[in-house]
Structure 1
Amino acid sequence: MIITCPHCQTKYQVTYEAIGSAGRKVQCAYCQRAWQQEPVVPEAPPAPADEMFDAMAEDGLDEALVTEERAVAAELARRLAIEQEQARPETQKSAGEVDPAVIRKRQKAFLRRQSALIAHLPLARLRRAARVAGVLILCVLIGALYFGRVQLVERVPSLAGLYAGLGLGVNVVGLDFSNVTAQRALRDGKEMLIVSAQIVGLTADPVGVPPVVVTLLGPNGAAIYEWSVTPSVRDLMAGERSSFDTQLALPPGEAERMRLSFAAAAPQPGRAASPPSRSVPISSADQTNPEHP
């Protein structure tokens, strides 16, 4: 006789004696589901060829079902392996064929996650705060060294050379020269060197004006002749100016330039002894006033 699984419609050929007249519970080897099989009455008497099934007992049916179950399980395992192989990406089918771009992408993602975790640690926040504080302190220090360089050089005169090397001249005297001229001229048949300039105040507080030193320089820049002039004004403050003139009879003929500087013999209290200076070439009267002989 033939029985059919009501769940998956799989058919099995068994003997009538295996089911019996009262029926029995059987399990499908394909879908693994059980059902109560009722006895099936044969429509015709069994043929002689069916006598070979007369001796098949219930144990034989169980063995046939187990064998069928194993075959179905093997087929299912084979189909599952094929589906998994088809679903796996081409870049991961074998360890030797992994795409390097996939590895780099995973490494970058891992590093990003690791950095994000580390950034939230207390020690990382402390390091960031220390770096920010260090940058702010450095900016304040640079600003103080730049804008307060005059006060620093006043207290530490040796820093004047450091600032000069950086191209930041420091005028600690509080005075400067402007409109400086040096001109050769003839007066009463004598050659004269006429020097004129203005002294300018730079500070808000009055600054005492020291003597002005006039130095004549040769072709190689060496000093040839020098004298001092005492200005008529005693002190100057920001915005104030004082003019002065001086003359030298029969100046050295090899003098090419003239330099003005403040005397360092008696510097102001707390100020450095390196005064500012101005150097100009010595011109002739016929160059500035062509109408004069």
Structure 2
Amino acid sequence: MIITCPHCQTKYQVTYEAIGSVGRKVQCAYCQRAWQQEPVRPEAPPEPADQLFEAMAEDGLDEALAAEEKAVAAELAQRLAAEQERETKPAGELDPAVIRKRQKAFLRRQSALIAHLPLARLRRAARVGGALVLCGLIGLFYFGRVQLVERIPSLAGVYASLGMGVNVVGLDFSNITAQRALRDGKDVLIVSAQLVGLLPDPVAVPPVVVTLLDPAGAAIYEWSVTPSVRDLMAGERSSFDTQLALPPGEAARMRLSFGATAGNVAPRQTTPISGNAGPSAPQAPISPEHP
């Protein structure tokens, strides 16, 4: 049977015989208070064998209560010692995980407070404004590169180093050939190419400058040709050719460029010279070049 302390509600498992038929006074091992325990009638009468041990069970109840009292006292002493140890434990011996958790919580609270200060708002606005200005400069540098190079020709080299050649003329060369030939026993250099329009609006075609280069890339001879077409627009092409009698024998390459433009901004192309030269002008290959 189970009896319950009416003061602290601690429950105990005892036999019916330990209480007896008239009840007895018992003491709680937890709160140390006593009460008169009334008998609890079992549903069925006890067996004869149980009646033989009624007196022994009553003595066993005292022993059980005493053992329970010792166990409860030991548990209370253990809890008290643990609480005292936690109270007297130095701050440096706290669990590192607990310290990190407290630090993170403190930093979150501090950041939340700082974020609402006027100076913090000003810094955020400055960062956003700086990012927008940077994006605008990058967009201008990329999409407005033609206009920038027109105003600052030295930027053409910067774009070329980044692999973004800038053509501010609006014209380009294609199908370039340079060939040596013999005519009337004389060595002749024949140059031909096509001019290509790149812009949607008509672009005036400037003179074309033909430059002969030696194997080291140095210019050794130069002349200009005025194309027959006056202007070109996107999708339009115009052919031109020119000849040079008795070209220099050391010429290795031929370069085409547009005259009357900012030197390093105008598109240039070089091409090898092919064909057979006369006895006084050895054969010199010339290849296309993009400076």
Question: TM-score, normalization: structure 2?
Answer: 0.62
**Residue in structure 1 matched with residue 289 of structure 2 by the alignment:** none
Q: Secondary structure at the match of 2:234?
A: coil
Task: Provide the residue aligned with 2:248 in structure 1.
Answer: 252
Q: Is contact 1:91–1:99 with CA below 8 Å preserved after alignment?
A: no
1:115-167, Cα deviation, whole Å (9 max, x unpaired): 23322334323322321222112111211121111112223334334434444
What is the deviation of 1:186? 2.8
Please tell me whether residue 146 in structure 1 is matched to residue 142 in structure 2. yes
* TM alignment of 1:1-293, pairs within 5 A: 83-87=79-83, 93-95=89-91, 97-264=93-260, 267=261, 272-273=262-263, 274-284=265-275
Residue 89 of structure 1 deviates from its aligned partner by 7.9
Q: Residue 223 of structure 2 aligns to a residue in which SS?
A: strand
Match of 2:27 in 1: none
How much does 1:218 deviate?
A: 0.3
1:180–1:195 contact (8 Å) kept in structure 2: yes
Structure with the greater alpha carbon radius of gyration: 1
Q: CA deviation at 1:275?
A: 1.8
- Which whole-Å CA distance do the structure 2 matches of 1:90 and 1:221 have between them? 86
- TM-score, normalised to structure 1, is 0.61
**SS across alignment from 1:258:** strand
Which amino acid in 2 is paired with 1:276?
Answer: P
* Separation in structure 2 between the aligned mates of residue 85 and residue 133 of structure 1, nearest angstrom: 61
Aligned to 2:14: none
What is the SS of the residue equivalent to 2:99?
helix
- After TM superposition, the runs of 4+ consecutive aligned structure 1 residues lying more than 4 A away are 79-82, 87-92
Deviation at 1:223, TM superposition (A): 0.8
1:284 alignment partner AA: G
**CA shift in 2, pair 1:145/1:228, >3 Å:** same
Give 2:177's aligned amino acid: T
Identity %, equivalent residues: 78
* Aligned CA distance change for structure 1 residues 209 and 116 (closer, same or farther; 3 Å): same
Residue type of the alignment partner of 1:236: L
**Alignment check: 8 A CA contact 1:91 1:97 kept:** no
Tell me how far apart the structure 2 counterparts of residues 148 and 113 of structure 1 sit (CA, whole Å): 46
Structure 1 position 234, deviation (Å): 0.8
1:194-234 CA-partner distances (Å, limit 9, x unpaired): 11111111222211111111111001111111111110001
**1:245-286 CA-partner distances (Å, limit 9, x unpaired):** 11122222211110001112xx4xxxx454221011222269
Indicate conservation of the 8 Å contact 1:214/1:259, yes or no.
yes
Where does structure 1 lack aligned partners over 5 or more consecutive residues? Answer: 1-6, 9-30, 32-78, 288-293
RMSD: 3.3
1:23-62 Cα offsets, whole Å, 9 max, x none, are xxxxxxxx9xxxxxxxxxxxxxxxxxxxxxxxxxxxxxxx
Q: What secondary structure, in the 3-state scheme, does the structure 1 residue paired with 2:164 have?
A: coil
